[in-house]
């Protein structure tokens, strides 16, 4: 998601320039944006009401109709954007996001794909792409991820290695928790979140393997420490950014002052030189 | 809660100026403030004792009497303030807070409104409005909220979308946890706090839907990450405020020094110019 | 605990000055300190072993003897310090701490005071007062507490008010959890730590009072937010301290440089003035 | 783990210099590094698959063969490094780490040492020593530990003292949780992580000892506070490091500017002096 957006005002290179420009003005208008936000909100409420049996019984037809209308509006919106921006449409991560969210809803919902029907509510996330302040928040969150890259790699490595060890040691006796690498990964994730780690898992395991704590306690300490450092990386990153701006402002003020001083001195030298020549 | 307080010393524009001024002096006196604080504390203890059956049996009448007296004092205090400050009274959030807290206690307590009786202890929160240092702490806490606005909006959106999905997918099989959007919201809040999320909810759900972790683990990671960023926003905000003060002090020192330098150089140039003229 | 320590080398004003000075040199010698640290460690191990039935069976007599010897050494140490420093002894919080810890062990252990016997291990905390680096850590921890004062007061108020409300609303139906203000305080503390708050307490309560979440969820949000701000107060405080030192160093460097500049300019002006007089 | 690495390019002082130099070039080549990383990854996947019964049934022989080949490659790699670097090999903590990880796999796996077989997956951690960016992350994590030294010592002391007290007070009635100092340490660690501390442990104990909360609640508050300070020590440390770099950059800029100014003024004085001599 680069956030790069098709530059508005740039004339699309088609033949029917007048119509295209009008379409672009229409789709980029503030009123249109506000209308789309309203449609998203109404659609979110409709999809929420659809989960209630009583609401379905009383005005189920209305809810389906409203959902279809909202979907139609989204399809038209994206179609216009595709016509106006063409290839450039897909250079914005947000547009791709909108496109996928809406496209998913158009997939014919076969019986066994009822999961996809449940995902229609994901359209509410279009609020993120439509409201500039939400885009900013999401981009700030995403910008923190690269700084965490290598720590996440380390954490994954610790998880994989621990899962293989746990499966080998405890898998035979506790198949529900450590029967496979996948089951162990889930159990270790639960243990990392400290949920029922002792009463639920480690104490029972220690009934069979009294020294199991030698594995689990260091695992908890290690993952907590790594996660803590993940947090710190984000905090330091955020702090640094807010600091840099501030420092720059300060530095600028001092630099301006110093530049003025040098200017003064330079002028003085010129005057002096001029005085000598007199 | 703006914290704006009626400016003391400003003469109220009524006809009976002398009485009004005396009332204002009385209500704003340190002694009165200390007396009100004492009444609040005694009232809080009385309401606490009222919950104990033995205390009620032995001196229930005394407790009710003390509570009524305390309430009477609060009513008189607020009445005086209303007389003195009139319309300006409601320009302070703290006054509105006091007014509502006391007014609630005057509502006749019908049988089914026993909840309101339990809320009488909220009067203890008047300590916050009466003690300046507590006001400051509360205002510092509240001042952190705007910085969190858009992140809270994002978190709400994630919660709503997840609740609708969870209701659709798991509602039929686990009505207690995911039977309605409201029930799902509560369960997801519990899961976000990591309380019994695995042993209590996700493992049972995975008995029926083996891939349920595909929904819940990302939900935990996502909400934890967003909440973490909420915290960071507050930390950076607090740090920034304490930093800015410090930086400004430093900047001032450097700026003062540089200004003195320019002054020196300017004088020197004047002297030089004067020297040339000689 | 002021940490103020009797100034060594200062001659005690007694008559038998020579003996006193020798005693002071002895008690303040590095070797004596190291010996006391060793005794504390041995005593801690002995008290730990005393909890093991097998260790008690095999050399219970030895353990009791070692404990008595250690206690004797501590009594002698403190007696010497009392003789040497007299009144000044109690001006140091650490000395008072040592005195109380050792005095407790001398109280005759009546049957029903077996708790006091269990507290003998508190002597191991004397390590904190004997080792300078541990003193420093403890003082750093304690120094963070005043900054948290008013936030702790706010948290206590929220707890008390919530406990009274919970007792009134849920006390009759759930006496184990909310039967008295004390029981409610404990349950609310548990809920604040998020331990089994939902599956263990709130969901059962919601069986009887479907709207109980209106009380508990805001309680969790509010206390979490206040505790977070407690943490932030400590972090900002710690950061500030480490920052101030650094900033000062920087400011010093710039100030030195600027002072040198002004010096240069002042000399130049003097030279110029001298030139003019020529 | 000092991270000091044998300086490449330094001629090993053996007689057969040409062969040695060629070996060193080979072992330090980028291609060799990439090959070793691939072998580590393949080996990690193989050891993961070995935990799956179906994978073992279908191509168990292949998995064992691949594991043996990978081990052989590691042995050859380390043998070459030992030949090339000789004594210097062990001056790098990472090399010692590699050596131990591989040596463990060569220990004959007796029946009761099946734990060692499970530890073969630890070889996946060789990724940390082979990839420079992972080395850096691990070293950054390890560098945070010394700053925590004395706080960890304090935490250990609190744990030991609390474990001895808990064993003495509750050991007889709750042998599973507090039967020995070891059991108490585990239970207290669980309580510190807040896992089931109340519903699981303290409420049952309070059935027998109604005042047990006097011990456990302060324990939770104290350890939470100490752990929080542990975190803060790391955060302040990390922040400080990133700050110092930034500050230095800023300081450098200002210092450069000031130095240029002094240079200007010095030149001016020289010119002035020259002018006077004219």
Subunit contact A193:B194, Cβ cutoff 8 A: yes
Q: Is residue D180 within 8 angstroms of chain C, CB to CB?
A: yes
> What is the percent of chain A where pLDDT is above 90?
34
- Both tokens of residue D25? 């070039």
pLDDT attached to residue D91: 87
pLDDT attached to residue A76: 92
Subunit contact C261:D266, Cβ cutoff 8 A: no
pLDDT attached to residue A245: 61
Closest CA to D140 of A160, A225, B231: A225
Q: Can you tell me the distance from the alpha carbon of D219 to that of D187, in angstroms, rounded to the nearest whole number?
A: 12
Closest CA to B181 of A53, C206, A41: A53
Closest CA to A167 of A182, A178, A156, A183: A178
Backbone angles phi, psi at D2, to 5 degrees: -85, -20
Read off the pLDDT of residues A188-235 as tens digits, 9 standing for 90 and up. Answer: 999 999 999 999 999 999 999 999 999 999 999 999 999 988 888 787
pLDDT of B6 over the 60 cut: no
What average pLDDT does the segment B65-88 reach?
90
Q: What secondary structure, in 3-state letters, does chain A show? A: CCCCCCCCCCCCCCCCHHHHHHHHHHHHCHHHHHHHHHHHHHHHHHHHHCCCHHHHHHHHHHHHHHHHHHHHHHHHHHHHHHHHHHHHHHHCHHHHHHHHHHHHHHCCCCHHHHHHHHHHHHHHHHHHHHCHHHHHHHHHHHHCHHHHHHHHHHHHHHHHHHHHHHHHHHCCCCHHHHCCHHHHHHHHHHHHCCCCHHHHHHHHHHHHCCCCHHHHHHHHHHHHHHHHHHHHHHHHHHHHHHHHHHHHHHHHHHHHHHHHHHHHHHHHHHHHHHHHHC
Does B157 or B276 have the greater pLDDT score?
Answer: B157
Subunit contact D169:C118, Cβ cutoff 8 A: yes
Which of the residue ranges A106-110, B187-191, C240-244 has the most confident prediction, judged by mean pLDDT? B187-191
Backbone angles phi, psi at D154, to 5 degrees: -60, -45
> Is the distance from CB of C197 to CB of C204 less than 8 angstroms?
no
- In chain D, residues with a C-beta closer than 8 Å to the C-beta of C51 are 164, 167-168, 171, 180-181
pLDDT of A174 over the 90 cut: yes
Does B185 or D104 have the greater pLDDT score?
Answer: B185
Q: Can you tell me the distance from the alpha carbon of A158 to that of A225, in angstroms, rounded to the nearest whole number?
A: 12
Q: Which residue of D has its CA nearest to A214?
A: D186
Interface contacts A/D by beta carbons within 8 Å: 132
Least confident of B112-116, B143-147, C99-103: B112-116
- Which residues does B147 contact at the CB level (< 8 Å), separation at least 6? B233, B234, B237
pLDDT attached to residue A184: 95
pLDDT attached to residue D61: 87
pLDDT of D215 over the 70 cut: yes
Q: Which residue of D has its CA nearest to A272?
A: D272
- In chain D, residues with a C-beta closer than 8 Å to the C-beta of A165 are 118-119, 121-122
Closest CA to A169 of A206, A220, A221: A206
pLDDT of D9 over the 60 cut: no
pLDDT attached to residue D4: 43
pLDDT attached to residue A182: 93
The shortest C-alpha distance from C247 to chain D (Å) reads 9
How distant, in Å, are the alpha carbons of D37, D94, D126 from that of D30? 11, 18, 16
Q: Is residue C193 within 8 angstroms of chain D, CB to CB?
A: yes
ipTM, 2 dp: 0.82
| Owner of token pair 């070996």 | D23
pLDDT of B39 over the 80 cut: yes
Subunit contact B234:C236, Cβ cutoff 8 A: no
pLDDT attached to residue C11: 45
Closest CA to D73 of D32, D109, D104: D32
Length, in residues, of chain D: 278
Exposure b/e, C67-84, CB count within 10 A at least 16 = b: beebbebbeebbeebebb
- Both tokens of residue D81? 């490094």
Chain B interface disruption, residue of C166, C172, C194, C198, most B CBs within 10 A: C198
Q: Can you tell me the distance from the alpha carbon of C122 to that of D161, in angstroms, rounded to the nearest whole number?
A: 6
Interface contacts A/B by beta carbons within 8 Å: 130
What average pLDDT does the segment A252-272 reach?
73
pLDDT attached to residue A6: 46
pLDDT attached to residue C111: 56
Closest partner CB to C164 (pick from B48, B235, B264): B48
Residue C68: which H helix or E strand, with range? Answer: helix C53-85
Q: Is residue D153 within 8 angstroms of chain C, CB to CB?
A: yes
Least confident of B66-75, C243-252, C267-276, D180-189: C243-252
> What is the percent of chain B where pLDDT is above 70?
84
Mean of pLDDT over chain A: 83
Q: Can you tell me the distance from the alpha carbon of B187 to that of B195, in angstroms, rounded to the nearest whole number?
A: 10
- In chain A, residues with a C-beta closer than 8 Å to the C-beta of B239 are 239
What average pLDDT does the segment A13-25 reach?
74
pLDDT attached to residue B199: 93
pLDDT attached to residue B276: 60
Mean of pLDDT over chain B: 83
Least confident of A26-30, C205-209, C248-252, D239-243: C248-252
pLDDT attached to residue D43: 92
Read off the pLDDT of residues D102-148 as tens digits, 9 standing for 90 and up. Answer: 887 777 666 556 677 778 888 899 898 888 888 888 888 888 788 78
Q: Which residue of B has its CA nearest to A228?
A: B228
pLDDT of B10 over the 60 cut: no
pLDDT of D82 over the 60 cut: yes
Read off the pLDDT of residues D141-175 as tens digits, 9 standing for 90 and up. Answer: 888 788 788 889 999 999 999 999 999 999 999 99
Divide the 278 residues of chain C into consecutive groups of 10 and give the mean pLDDT of each group: 44 61 86 91 92 87 90 91 88 88 74 71 88 86 82 93 93 92 95 94 93 94 90 76 61 69 75 66
Q: Is residue D182 within 8 angstroms of chain A, CB to CB?
A: no
pLDDT attached to residue B109: 60
Does D258 or B53 have the greater pLDDT score?
Answer: B53
Tell me the whole-structure pTM to 2 decimals: 0.84
pLDDT of D71 over the 50 cut: yes
- In chain D, residues with a C-beta closer than 8 Å to the C-beta of A240 are 242, 246
Q: Which of residues 68-127 of C touch D (CB under 8 A)?
A: 115, 117-119, 121-122, 124-125, 127
What average pLDDT does the segment A97-126 reach?
78
pLDDT attached to residue C112: 57
pLDDT attached to residue C146: 80
pLDDT band at D12 (very low <50, low <70, confident <90, very high): very low
pLDDT band at A133 (very low <50, low <70, confident <90, very high): confident
pLDDT attached to residue B174: 94
> Is the distance from CB of A175 to CB of A182 less than 8 angstroms?
no
pLDDT of D264 over the 80 cut: no
Closest partner CB to C254 (pick from D254, D268, D273): D254
Chain D interface disruption, residue of C132, C196, C241, most D CBs within 10 A: C196
Q: Can you tell me the distance from the alpha carbon of C249 to that of C257, in angstroms, rounded to the nearest whole number?
A: 13
Q: Is residue B246 within 8 angstroms of chain C, CB to CB?
A: yes
Read off the pLDDT of residues A202-213 as tens digits, 9 standing for 90 and up. Answer: 999 999 999 999
Chain A interface disruption, residue of B152, B164, B209, B223, most A CBs within 10 A: B164
How distant, in Å, are the alpha carbons of C264, D166, D208 from that of D182? 71, 11, 22
Which of the residue ranges A2-11, A141-150, C80-89 has the most confident prediction, judged by mean pLDDT? C80-89
pLDDT band at B36 (very low <50, low <70, confident <90, very high): very high
The shortest C-alpha distance from A137 to chain B (Å) reads 7
- Both tokens of residue B221? 């990671």
Backbone angles phi, psi at A16, to 5 degrees: -85, 60
pLDDT of B171 over the 60 cut: yes
Name all contacts of B254-257 with Cβ < 8 Å and 24+ positions apart.
Answer: B254/A254, B254/A257, B254/C251, B254/C254, B254/C255, B254/C258, B255/A253, B255/A254, B255/A257, B257/C254, B257/C255, B257/C258, B257/C262
| Owner of token pair 């009383």 | A58
> What angle (nearest 5°) sits at the alpha carbon of residue C110, between those of residues C107 and C111?
145
Closest partner CB to D232 (pick from C238, C265, C271): C238
Closest CA to A105 of A74, A145, A146, A150: A74
How distant, in Å, are the alpha carbons of B183, D90, D96 from that of D13? 75, 17, 22
pLDDT attached to residue C242: 64
- Both tokens of residue A114? 């009822």
pLDDT of B184 over the 90 cut: yes
What average pLDDT does the segment A9-33 reach?
74
Q: Is residue A268 within 8 angstroms of chain D, CB to CB?
A: yes
pLDDT of D67 over the 60 cut: yes
- Which residues does D272 contact at the CB level (< 8 Å), separation at least 6? A272, C268, C271, C272, C275
Task: Outline where chain B has alpha helix (H).
Answer: 17-28, 30-49, 53-85, 93-106, 114-118, 126-130, 132-143, 145-170, 175-178, 181-192, 203-208, 213-277
pLDDT attached to residue C24: 87
pLDDT of A12 over the 60 cut: no
- In chain A, residues with a C-beta closer than 8 Å to the C-beta of D235 are 232, 235-236
pLDDT attached to residue D247: 59
> Is the distance from CB of D42 to CB of D70 less than 8 angstroms?
yes
- In chain C, residues with a C-beta closer than 8 Å to the C-beta of B275 are 272, 275-276
């Amino acid at each position: 998601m680069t956030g790069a957006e098709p530059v508005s005002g740039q004339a699309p290179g088609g033949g029917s320039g007048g119509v295209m420009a009008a379409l672009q003005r229409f789709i980029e208008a503030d009123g249109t944006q506000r209308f789309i936000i309203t449609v998203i909100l109404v659609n979110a409420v409709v999809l929420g009401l659809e989960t209630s049996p009583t609401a379905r019984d009383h005005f189920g037809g209305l809810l389906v109709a409203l959902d279809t209308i909202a979907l139609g509006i989204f399809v038209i919106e994206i179609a216009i954007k595709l016509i106006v921006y063409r290839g450039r449409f897909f250079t914005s991560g947000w547009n791709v996001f909108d496109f996928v969210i809406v496209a998913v809803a158009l997939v014919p919902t076969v019986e066994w794909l009822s999961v996809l029907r449940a995902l229609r509510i994901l359209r509410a996330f279009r609020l993120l792409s439509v409201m500039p302040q939400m885009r900013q928040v999401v981009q700030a969150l995403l910008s923190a991820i690269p700084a965490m890259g290598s720590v996440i790699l380390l954490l994954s490595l610790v998880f994989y290695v621990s899962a293989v060890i746990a499966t080998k040691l405890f898998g035979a006796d506790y198949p529900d928790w450590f029967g496979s690498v996948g089951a162990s990964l889930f159990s270790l994730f639960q243990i990392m979140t400290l949920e029922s780690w002792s009463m639920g898992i480690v104490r029972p395991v220690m009934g069979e393997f009294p020294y199991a704590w030698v594995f689990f306690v260091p695992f908890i300490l290690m993952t907590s420490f790594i996660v803590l450092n993940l947090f710190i990386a984000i905090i330091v990153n955020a702090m640094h950014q807010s600091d840099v701006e501030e420092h720059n402002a300060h530095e600028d003020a001092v630099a301006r002052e110093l530049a003025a001083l040098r200017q003064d001195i330079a002028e003085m030298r010129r005057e002096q030189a001029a005085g000598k020549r007199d």
